[in-house]
């Protein structure tokens, strides 16, 4: 686990890395990686609460946008700070960061399922498929030594941006989309596309990594 390779090939990976390193060098010394990880978790819980609150006040959608920005700050910066300051704790950091991601994703999607902008069933499907894909990533990290931070040019950063764009669309009053002759919740359409996309990613990654490991440990 301490020697795994981090593979990050998302659309914004290069400029994001430069920005994060610049921020890490300017952070006060009393702010450490644990503080940033807790900030990321609290922000994701706040984003989920913001979605749930939109049933009472649509202005809560702005709370979601702000919370996602804070989540990006904490979640993306905690590891960068440790690397810049050479205070890395590989096993601790890997474990805590991804346990926090697990809870944060649940808070966000469950809140979205309670918002009325996405069906709870679609939100739960997203959670299950996200967890399944995460398990594949962690198994790949352990068995092959490569930790994939992105799939098909998409990482959590790009997904946060898509969510924020979706929120801005909701502010225009557009809450439904049409597929053929049927009308669906706009976020249900996006969620269904996300589920299908992650299932395809999962199946392709499972096939590719199974073949890789089989060829490395052939019995003949």
Nearest C-alpha neighbor of 79 from the set 134, 156, 143: 156
Number of folded domains that form the chain: 1
pLDDT by 10s per residue, the chain, length 220: 456 665 555 656 677 788 888 989 999 999 999 999 999 999 999 999 998 998 788 788 888 889 988 998 898 888 889 889 888 888 898 889 889 989 999 999 999 899 888 899 999 998 998 899 889 888 888 888 876 665 555 556 666 677 767 777 766 666 666 666 777 777 888 888 888 888 888 898 899 889 989 998 888 7
Helix 90-114, helix 33-53: angle, nearest 10: 10
**Running DSSP on this structure, what letter comes out for residue 145?**
S
- Residue 35's pLDDT is 94
CATH number at residue 123: 1.20.120.1760
Alpha-carbon distance of 57 to 200, in angstroms, equals: 36
- Residue 55's pLDDT is 75
Prediction pTM value = 0.82
Contact yes or no for 3/145 (Cβ under 8 A)? yes
- Residue 11's pLDDT is 59
> C-alpha 32: how far from its chain's center?
21
Please give the residue range of the domain that contains residue 198.
5-216
SS3 183: strand
């Amino acid at each position: 686990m301490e020697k795994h390779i981090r593979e990050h090939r998302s659309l914004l990976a290069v400029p994001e890395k430069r920005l994060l390193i610049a921020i890490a060098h300017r952070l006060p010394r009393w702010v450490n990686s644990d503080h940033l990880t807790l900030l990321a978790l609290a922000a994701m819980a706040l984003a989920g609460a913001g979605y749930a609150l939109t049933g009472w006040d649509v202005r809560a959608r702005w709370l979601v946008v702000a919370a996602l920005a804070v989540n990006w700050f904490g979640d993306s910066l905690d590891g960068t700070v440790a690397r810049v300051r050479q205070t890395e704790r590989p096993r601790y950091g890997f474990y805590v960061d991804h346990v926090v991601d697990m809870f944060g994703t649940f808070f966000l999607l469950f809140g979205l399922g309670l918002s009325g902008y996405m069906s709870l069933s679609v939100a739960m499907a997203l959670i299950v498929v996200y967890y399944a894909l995460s398990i594949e990533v962690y198994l790949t990290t352990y068995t092959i030594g490569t930790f994939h931070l992105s799939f098909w040019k998409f990482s959590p950063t790009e997904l946060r941006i898509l969510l924020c764009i979706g929120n801005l669309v909701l502010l225009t009053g557009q809450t439904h989309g049409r597929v053929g002759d049927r009308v669906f919740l706009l976020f249900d359409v996006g969620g269904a596309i996300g589920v299908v996309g992650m299932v395809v990613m999962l199946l392709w990654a499972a096939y590719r990594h199974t073949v890789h490991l089989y060829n490395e440990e052939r019995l003949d």
